[in-house]
């Protein structure tokens, strides 16, 4: 298959803008908002903070805000409830956003006998649903602590973003006996350079400008699953600040509709 490296022991796929168009965290937020997890005031406050971070380009600060907000909203709820919502969010928002090109690549790896893992900073509850629905081998995602099936409002480890994502994949590879030099990784974002740089077959998918430059400098393949018009529009907007801003406007739309 075009774009699929040969003789791969395992393949790792980022989720947002790689396998799925857009930000899965905000699809999840839409699902929670529709079910009364957020008040209008809380949504407005989050939107203001998201816009603030987007304009200033403070990605880490925004991730901290997202993490703390998400943990506060799920605290006291059962894991079964949140996983059930994850299933519904997939049907309502995510399924239609799956990129056929990325799905075909994953199927190619699976057909060749290579495990395929989804690796994302999104909640593992949502990551597990997406991976299972797409037939992937498994998923790694950000894990919220639970006791006796109820979320505590604390996180286990760090959000799977940047170096933490690479460390999680390295640990999985060690446990599974895979040689990372014979593994492949797919991502759209320069945030995933720690992961992409440690595998033998790094592939930039719908890349942001920083990743596109890095891929060109290192001879990595670049795959584009967007339409030409879509690609031009996103090339102008991309970068972490642009992505955060887009998420902010999604939440702003929810506020305007009174959810």
The torsion angles phi and psi of 155, rounded to 5 degrees, stand at -105, 145
C-alpha 31/C-alpha 86 separation (Å) is 8
Antiparallel, parallel or unpaired: β 150-156 and 184-187: unpaired
- Catalytic member of 14, 128, 188, 208: 14
Instruction: Report the C-alpha dihedral over residues 228, 203, 13, 176, rounded to 10 degrees.
Output: 170
Structure tokens of 152?
Answer: 């505590």
- Catalytic member of 7, 16, 192, 208: 16
Contact call for residues 109 and 132 (beta carbons, < 8 A): no
14 given a catalytic annotation: yes
128 given a catalytic annotation: no
Taken as a whole, the chain contains a residue count of: 259
Contact call for residues 161 and 121 (beta carbons, < 8 A): yes
Q: Distance between terminal CA atoms of the chain?
A: 44
Q: Indicate which residues carry an active-site annotation.
A: 14, 16
């Amino acid at each position: 298959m075009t774009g699929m490296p040969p003789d791969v022991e395992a393949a790792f796929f980022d989720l947002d803008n790689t396998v799925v168009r857009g930000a899965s965290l905000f699809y999840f937020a839409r699902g929670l908002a529709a079910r009364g997890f957020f008040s209008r005031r809380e949504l407005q406050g989050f939107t203001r903070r998201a816009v603030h971070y987007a304009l200033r380009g403070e990605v880490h600060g925004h991730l901290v805000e997202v993490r703390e907000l998400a943990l506060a909203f799920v605290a006291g709820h059962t894991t079964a409830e949140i996983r059930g919502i994850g299933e519904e969010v997939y049907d309502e928002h995510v399924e239609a956003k799956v990129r056929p090109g990325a799905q075909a690549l994953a199927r190619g790896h699976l057909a060749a006998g290579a495990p395929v893992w989804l690796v994302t900073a999104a909640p593992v509850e949502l990551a597990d649903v997406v991976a299972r629905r797409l037939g992937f081998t498994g998923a790694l995602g950000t894990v919220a602590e639970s006791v006796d099936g109820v979320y505590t409002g604390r996180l286990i480890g760090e959000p799977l973003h940047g170096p933490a994502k690479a460390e999680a994949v390295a640990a999985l590879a060690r446990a599974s006996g895979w040689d990372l030099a014979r593994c492949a990784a797919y991502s759209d974002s320069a945030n995933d350079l720690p992961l992409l740089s440690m595998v033998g077959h790094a592939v930039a998918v719908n890349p942001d400008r920083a990743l596109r430059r890095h891929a060109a400098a290192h001879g990595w393949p670049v795959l584009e699953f967007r339409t030409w018009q879509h690609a031009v529009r996103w090339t102008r907007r991309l970068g972490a600040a642009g992505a955060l801003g887009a998420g902010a406007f999604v939440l702003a739309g929810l506020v305007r509709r009174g959810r």
